């Protein structure tokens, strides 16, 4: 048997012979008259078919594999050469490539030399050059280029500039960018190429130069220029060239390409609106990082309906992006597809107002003309408004009236990183509205234009928007904008201070003050109490001085000298920067609740809602360099680790090389004083404004703040930040019981980076963190949880139900909500009678409640008063105005200043401080109401408005003037909205409101709108208000447990440091006991039943806040969904009630989850036959209509037999009851309506009750009976 080597050698030899034979036939096949096909083929004898059919049968597998590899490599080489050839056809020449500019250089101002060099290159390439540069040009070439143009380019440019000065609504010529882009790339069809070749042979030199200039104009327009001046020149040149070609009788340049491209792709139209700004404004805008990103932003917005813009605080996105849109034609009525408003939402009212004012100032317009704003208590929107700033809640209300938002062409959701509740809902709704508008715009008959959406975030946390396929099925593009941030050196402690972080912050500030060069210090603490404590210690240790005295010199800042390399951050704008306090008024992260009992003092909601801080991009420790201590850092101790430099360390070194300060006013040889200032949300506006003012000469400014200074705020002169890493937050407990607690927790990593960034706003700085880097990496969460995960959702569910979202669990939110939280919200709305218990559908009352811009509980309270007024309850008419004021008071912050939060004033000793606190307690006691803590807030508002809303009144009585002003504004606005909504709800069918029973009380409400609340409510009014509170907080009712909680040892202090007794209650929906706070106005009386507005856990006890005494017999009327009713009682029997005009039956009632027994309650009888029988007995007795009272003595049997069980077999009873039951009649109103259409109804049945052949029921008596029924209808 042959070996493998022999077989391989034989196969190779056979292949060589076959190749030689085939090559021998090639010359003969090329000869025209050759007889090669006739000659027999020289093959090996034996098996000729085998050679033809299987030429490669003898190849081994290895050879076949190698052959395939060779063939594949040859094919790839051929494709690669072909690709290189195609790319070579479209490559730029060296002259063309040198004309390109990198995108990184956009926004940077070029030098004169660079401008001239660039202009020279353009001139050599045959492109027009700006004549303002003074570059030498040949006069002949200029004449040849612009020959026959008619009006000059400069004249056309001047005309465009004059149009731009008249306003922002002057449009320019629109250019089809798709066609221009195709022309620039050289994409033409074969027919277009042949036409172009023929026309080129017949064209003159002038025509060729016109084509060149027109092509340059097209390329310039298509490039998406960022500056308005460049776009203006492009439009002017194109219009002049078109006019010139028309005069010469030539076709428009690029017409074929434009037509071809518009058919092949989507038509994208470029719009330009000229805006003239002052030179100073243009200079300040050019310094913003976002100016260089304008082209990228607008191109992304042109090709995508939704984009995400990510830029840190200070890049200018809030003020500049709306102006980019204005310059692109959005908001201009001359462009149909962009004629709608530009809507910009902000999470806070003052942010919306200040942004509108800034943009209007840059545009040179007044607020309310082309730029306006609308917030909860103010509206400045004109008829010609193009740009509207508003809070996110305002847009949600507009969405209820018009779901498609037809008034808007583009919506900007600003500060989306804060993840406020309203912003998350808006994103979910807009994610469905944008594609719906796009689909409707494709139908020509709809008249709806597409809607664009811009989501602006200050952090890199964009995965909630981009990676959420449920929110956006198609991933929106993300445009990143660089931040204008100076480098900050971050110092970590080696050990984390877990307890006395206030003392650690004090020690760190003292160390900074004694060792480091001048510069402001910003200290972040958790609450108001800690802020006041640290400020007091700093003022005592480094008191402010008014006269210099000579003392021994100290080191560092105290010596008034700076060592080598020490130089404070220069801030030339700090002295002229206005005191911007607009961002201090927003609700911060529970800064009002500065201790564990905050929010229950006076029984009011003193806690502020969580305001999500701005979050910067987290910088990983692996991506930054570690450096040793610099010259201007603290001396190395065992308490500090190495530093982390965020940013460019070279800037810090360059700043330090500038040398020491010159001309400082520091006093030589003294212990330099400190100006210590507090900063928190409840601080008066005048005190807040002090942080923006420079410190006195020779003083270092130290600002001690809560997280209110964390975002949207730039304090001048801050170079050092001391971060305790804590924040006080209001947290909802698990189980969705409504119980909350205030807890000092570690902040997120994003918040820590944001705090560190405060030191780098005006120059390089340092951040000293009072915790270790290991604790930071292991304990701190990456981001702050969204607000929707830590708030009650009944308002969200009611809003979505009112907007026809039946299955709320399927609503697309950026962050999914737990199903248990949605179920708890639905249970709350069922208790408020806003949803049906079985179907969870919106009730008539719920529809009316959703139309009010307040929480569902406050809306339910107001509608209960309206219903009582409709029913004619005593005092309900007058209670309407007080109910509106009460809703405004409960929806706002506590008006009382906590006495224990009062800090020592200048020159005040400890004894004077204690006396002032006692005075505050006495002033607050004067407003205490025995009806409840909610009524105490109402009394404060009444007295405040009676005093003319005086600031002095607030200071004398230790009240928050800002909170009282907001209460008054909310009361007036709520009254106007109620009047308008309830007036139009009867004849309007919209998403927000339909017909409801409360509309019948509109006249009474209209009178209440004009009323005042300057007087204390009367007893009857108080009773109506207490009933309304029981209706609004029906699921937060508690019954007293007749036992008091007493500490084992008398005189010992409880968890809050007080030796007191707390009255125990049992809540209807909780298994845990709750307590009435000792500071409540009901603490002395301890009523049996109360309704509370909030539940806060302080230490180990849950305390009730906003407690109001109620009566048990009210609950079946105002909280029927939580009551369990028995079958109708036989004794007493059912009775027709003349006042209510219905048949009532008595029931046993059980309330809540604990099945508390309530007094017997009368309600509508559930059986229709029994109702008809009882009503028949009342009708026969003459109690329904007096005209039948005269027949009572002549009946053949007692009328009461009609309602008794033993009378149901008698014929006359059966006939009368059956007639009433068939007509569904069991009330006088219903019977009168039947008699209007059927005057003979019941006459035969009534005759059966009289003796035979009796003439008692005469026609005259029947006529009088009909008259009484018609009078009832008219009344």
Distance (Å, whole) CA 412 – CA 318 = 9
Q: Which of 526, 444, 530 is nearest to 744 (CA)?
A: 526
Q: Which positions ≥6 away from 855 have C-beta within 8 Å? A: 794, 795, 891
- Residues 324 and 32: their CA atoms lie apart, in Å, by 75
pLDDT (0 to 100) of residue 553: 37
Structure token pair of residue 821: 């939280």
Q: HSE, CB side, 13 Å, CA atoms: give it for residue 624.
A: 18
pLDDT beneath 50, residues of the chain: 24-56, 136-235, 241, 244-245, 247-266, 547-633, 635-638, 648-670, 985-1004, 1008, 1044-1060
C-alpha torsion sign, points 920, 923, 929, 934: negative
User: Domain 488-558+588-660+668-790 is in which class?
Assistant: alpha beta
Q: Strand, helix or coil at 1080?
A: coil
Helix (H) or strand (E) holding 105: none
Say what the pLDDT of residue 771 is: 93
- Which tokens sit at 313? 């605080």
Q: What is the DSSP string of 950-974?
A: -HHHHHHTTB-HHHHHHHHHHHHHH
- The residues, any chain, with a CB within 8 Å of residue 220's CB and separated by 6 or more, are 230, 233, 234, 237
- Reading the block at residue 891, the tokens are 């929806």
pLDDT given for residue 509 in this prediction: 94
| CA dist., res. 1050 & res. 1053, Å (int) | 9
Other CB atoms within 10 Å distance of the CB of residue 396 = 19
> Do residues 754 and 418 touch, judged by C-beta distance below 8 A?
no
Inter-residue contact 875 to 882 (CB < 8 Å): no
Strands 726-732 and 739-746, how do they pair?
antiparallel
The CA distance from 972 to 1229, in Å, is: 38
Backbone phi, then psi, for 660, in 5-degree steps? -70, 165
Domain assignments of the chain as residue spans, ordered by start: 140-269, 279-481, 488-558+588-660+668-790, 842-1032, 1037-1110, 1115-1164, 1168-1274
Spatial separation of the C-alpha atoms in residues 708 and 452, rounded to whole Å = 33
Nearest CA to 525 out of 502, 555, 547, 550 is that of: 502
**Contact predicate 501/724, CB 8 Å:** yes
pLDDT at 650: 46
Closest CA to 540 of 421, 673, 668, 644: 673
Beta bridge partners of 728: 744
Tokens encoding 838:
């079985």
Q: pLDDT digits over 839-865, tens only?
A: 889 999 998 888 887 889 999 999 899
| C-beta of residue 616 within 8 angstroms of C-beta of residue 754 | yes
What is the reported pLDDT for 588? 34
Angle between helices 819-831 and 794-802 (to 10 degrees): 80
Beta bridge partners of 676: 702
pLDDT at 86: 85
CATH code assigned to 279-481: 3.40.50.300
The pLDDT value given to residue 100: 79
Q: Which of 1103, 1060, 1063 is nearest to 1087 (CA)?
A: 1063
Q: Between 392-401 and 421-442, two packed helices, what is the crossing angle to 10 degrees?
A: 40
Cα 266 to the chain's mean position, in Å?
Answer: 33
Distance CA 309, CA 452 (A): 13
Cβ neighbour number for residue 55 with a 10 Å cutoff: 12
Q: What are the two backbone dihedrals, phi and then psi, of residue 1030, each rounded to the nearest 5 degrees? A: -60, -35
Q: Which strand (E) or helix (H) includes residue 1250?
A: none
What are the angstrom distances between the C-alpha of 589 and each of 612, 705, 727?
7, 12, 7
The answer to whether the beta carbons of residues 766 and 633 sit under 8 Å apart is: yes
405: left (phi over 0), alpha (psi -120 to 50) or beta: left
DSSP letter, residue 203: -
Alpha helical stretches, state H, 875-932: 876-890, 910-925
Q: How far apart are CA 899 and CA 706, in angstroms?
A: 19
Contact partners, residue 818, CB within 8 Å, separation at least 6: none
Q: Which residue has the tokens 């209300």?
A: 397
Calpha distance 1123→1109 (Å, rounded)? 19
234-267 per-residue burial string, b: 16 or more CB within 10 A, e: under 16? bbbbbbbbbebbeeeebeebbebbbebbeeeeee
CA distance 77 to 820: 63
Q: Are 271 and 333 in contact (CB under 8 A)?
A: no
Please answer whether residues 896 and 920 qualify as being in contact, where contact means their C-beta atoms are separated by less than 8 angstroms. no
């Amino acid at each position: 048997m042959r070996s493998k080597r022999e077989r391989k050698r034989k196969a190779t030899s056979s292949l060589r012979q076959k190749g030689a034979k085939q090559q021998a036939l090639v010359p003969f096949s090329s000869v025209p008259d050759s007889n090669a096909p006739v000659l027999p083929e020289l093959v090996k004898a034996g098996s000729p078919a085998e050679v033809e059919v299987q030429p490669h049968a003898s190849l081994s597998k290895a050879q076949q594999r190698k052959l395939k590899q060779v063939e594949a490599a040859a094919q790839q080489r051929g494709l690669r050469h072909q690709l290189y050839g195609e790319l070579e056809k479209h490559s730029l020449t060296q002259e063309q490539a040198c004309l390109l500019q990198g995108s990184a250089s956009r926004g940077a101002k070029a030098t004169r030399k660079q401008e001239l060099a660039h202009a020279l290159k353009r001139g050599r390439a045959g492109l027009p050059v700006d004549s303002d540069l003074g570059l030498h040009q040949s006069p002949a070439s200029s004449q040849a280029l612009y020959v026959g143009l008619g009006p000059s380019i400069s004249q056309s440019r001047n005309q465009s500039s004059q149009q731009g000065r008249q306003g922002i609504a002057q449009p320019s010529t629109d250019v089809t960018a798709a066609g221009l882009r195709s022309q620039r790339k050289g994409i033409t069809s074969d027919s277009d190429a042949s036409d172009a070749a023929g026309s080129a042979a017949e064209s003159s030199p002038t025509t060729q130069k016109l084509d060149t200039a027109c092509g340059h104009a097209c390329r310039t327009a298509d490039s998406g220029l960022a500056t308005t001046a460049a776009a203006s020149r492009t439009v002017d040149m194109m219009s002049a060239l078109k006019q010139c070609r028309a005069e010469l009788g030539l076709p428009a340049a690029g017409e074929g390409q434009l037509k071809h491209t518009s058919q092949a792709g989507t038509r994208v139209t470029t719009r330009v609106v000229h805006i003239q700004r002052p030179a100073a404004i243009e200079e300040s805008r050019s310094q913003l990082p976002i100016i260089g990103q304008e082209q990228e932003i607008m191109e992304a917005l042109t090709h995508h309906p939704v984009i995400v813009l990510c830029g840190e605080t200070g890049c200018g996105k809030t003020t500049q992006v709306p102006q980019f849109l204005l310059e692109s034609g959005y908001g201009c009525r001359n462009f149909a597809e962009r004629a709608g408003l530009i809507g910009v939402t902000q999470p806070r009212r003052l942010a919306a107002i200040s942004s509108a004012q800034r943009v209007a100032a840059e545009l040179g317009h007044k607020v309310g003309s082309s730029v306006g704003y609308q917030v909860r208590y103010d509206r400045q929107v004109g008829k010609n408004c193009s740009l509207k700033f508003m809070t996110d809640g305002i847009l949600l209300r507009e969405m209820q009236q018009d779901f498609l938002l037809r008034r808007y062409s583009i919506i900007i959701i600003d500060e989306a990183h804060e993840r406020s509740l309203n912003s998350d809902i808006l994103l979910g709704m807009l994610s469905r509205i944008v594609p719906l508008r796009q689909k409707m715009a494709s139908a020509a008959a709809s008249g709806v234009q597409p809607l664009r959406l811009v989501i602006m975030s200050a952090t890199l946390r964009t995965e909630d928007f981009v990676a959420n396929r449920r929110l956006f099925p198609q991933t929106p593009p993300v445009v990143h904008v660089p931040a204008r941030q100076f480098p900050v050196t971050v110092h970590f402690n080696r050990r984390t201070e877990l307890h006395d972080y206030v003392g650690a912050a004090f020690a760190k500030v003292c160390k900074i003050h004694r060792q480091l060069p001048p510069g402001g210090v910003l200290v972040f603490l958790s609450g108001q109490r800690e802020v006041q404590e640290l400020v007091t210690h700093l003022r005592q240790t480094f008191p402010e001085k008014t006269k210099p005295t000579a003392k021994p010199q100290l080191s560092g800042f105290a010596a008034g000298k700076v060592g080598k390399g020490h130089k404070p951050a220069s801030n030339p704008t700090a002295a002229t920067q206005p005191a911007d306090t607009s961002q201090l008024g927003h609700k911060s992260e529970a800064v009002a609740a500065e201790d564990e009992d905050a929010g229950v003092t006076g029984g009011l909601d003193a806690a502020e809602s969580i305001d999500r801080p701005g979050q910067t991009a987290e910088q990983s420790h692996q991506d930054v360099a570690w450096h040793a201590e610099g010259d201007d850092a603290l001396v190395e101790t065992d308490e500090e680790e190495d530093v982390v430099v965020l940013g460019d360390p070279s800037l810090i070194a360059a700043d330090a090389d500038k040398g020491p300060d010159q001309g400082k006013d520091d006093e030589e040889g003294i212990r330099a004083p400190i100006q210590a200032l507090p900063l928190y949300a409840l601080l008066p506006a005048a005190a807040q404004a002090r942080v923006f003012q420079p410190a006195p000469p020779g003083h270092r400014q130290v600002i001690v703040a809560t997280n209110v200074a964390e975002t949207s705020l730039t304090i001048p002169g801050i170079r050092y930040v001391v971060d305790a890493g804590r924040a006080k937050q209001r947290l909802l407990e698990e189980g969705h019981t409504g119980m909350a607690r205030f807890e000092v927790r570690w902040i997120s990593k994003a918040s820590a980076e944001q705090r560190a960034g405060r030191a780098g706003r005006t120059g390089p700085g340092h951040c000293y963190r009072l915790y270790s880097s290991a604790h930071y990496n292991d304990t701190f969460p990456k981001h702050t949880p969204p607000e929707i995960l830590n708030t009650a959702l009944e308002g969200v569910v009611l809003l979505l139900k009112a907007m026809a979202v039946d299955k709320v669990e399927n609503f697309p939110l950026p962050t999914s909500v737990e199903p248990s939280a949605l179920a708890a919200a639905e249970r709350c709305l069922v208790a408020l009678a806003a949803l049906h218990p079985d179907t969870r559908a919106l009730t008539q009352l719920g529809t009316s409640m959703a139309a009010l811009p307040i929480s569902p509980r406050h809306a339910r309270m107001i509608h209960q008063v309206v219903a009582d007024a409709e029913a004619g309850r005593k005092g309900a008419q007058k209670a309407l105005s007080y109910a509106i004021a009460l809703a405004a008071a409960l929806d706002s912050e506590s008006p009382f200043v906590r006495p224990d939060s009062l800090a020592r004033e200048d020159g005040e000793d400890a004894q004077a401080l204690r006396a002032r606190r006692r005075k505050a307690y006495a002033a607050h006691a004067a407003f205490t109401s025995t009806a409840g803590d909610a009524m105490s807030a109402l009394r404060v508002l009444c007295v405040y408005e009676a005093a003319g809303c005086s600031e002095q009144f607030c200071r004398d009585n230790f009240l928050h003037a800002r909170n009282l002003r907001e209460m008054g504004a909310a009361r007036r606005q709520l009254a106007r909205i109620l009047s308008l909504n309830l007036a139009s709800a009867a004849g309007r069918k919209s998403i927000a409101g339909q017909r409801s029973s409360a509309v019948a009380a509109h006249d009474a409400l209209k009178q209440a709108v004009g009323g005042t609340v300057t007087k204390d409510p009367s007893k009857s009014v108080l009773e109506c208000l207490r009933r309304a509170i029981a209706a609004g907080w029906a699921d937060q009712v508690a019954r007293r447990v007749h036992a008091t909680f007493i500490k084992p040892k008398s005189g010992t202090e409880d968890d809050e440091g007080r030796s007191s007794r707390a009255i125990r209650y049992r809540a209807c929906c909780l298994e845990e006991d709750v307590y009435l706070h000792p500071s409540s106005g009901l603490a002395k009386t301890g009523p049996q039943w109360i309704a509370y507005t909030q539940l806060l856990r302080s230490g180990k006890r849950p305390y009730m806040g906003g407690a109001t005494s109620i009566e048990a017999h009210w609950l079946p009327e105002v909280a029927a969904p939580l009551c369990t009713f028995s079958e109708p009682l036989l004794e007493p029997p059912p009775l027709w009630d003349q006042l209510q005009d219905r048949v009532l039956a008595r029931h046993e009632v059980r309330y809540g989850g604990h099945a508390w027994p309530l007094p017997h309650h009368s309600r509508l009888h559930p059986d229709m036959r029994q109702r008809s029988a009882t009503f028949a007995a009342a009708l026969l007795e003459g109690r329904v209509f007096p005209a039948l009272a005269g027949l009572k003595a002549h009946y053949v049997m007692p009328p009461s037999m009609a309602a008794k069980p033993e009378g149901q077999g008698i014929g006359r009873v059966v006939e009368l009851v059956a007639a009433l039951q068939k007509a569904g009649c069991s009330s006088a109103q219903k019977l009168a309506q039947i008699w209007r259409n059927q005057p003979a109804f019941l006459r035969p049945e009534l005759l059966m009750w009289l003796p035979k052949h009796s003439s008692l029921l005469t026609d005259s008596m029947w006529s009088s009976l009909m008259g009484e029924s018609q009078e009832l209808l008219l009344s």
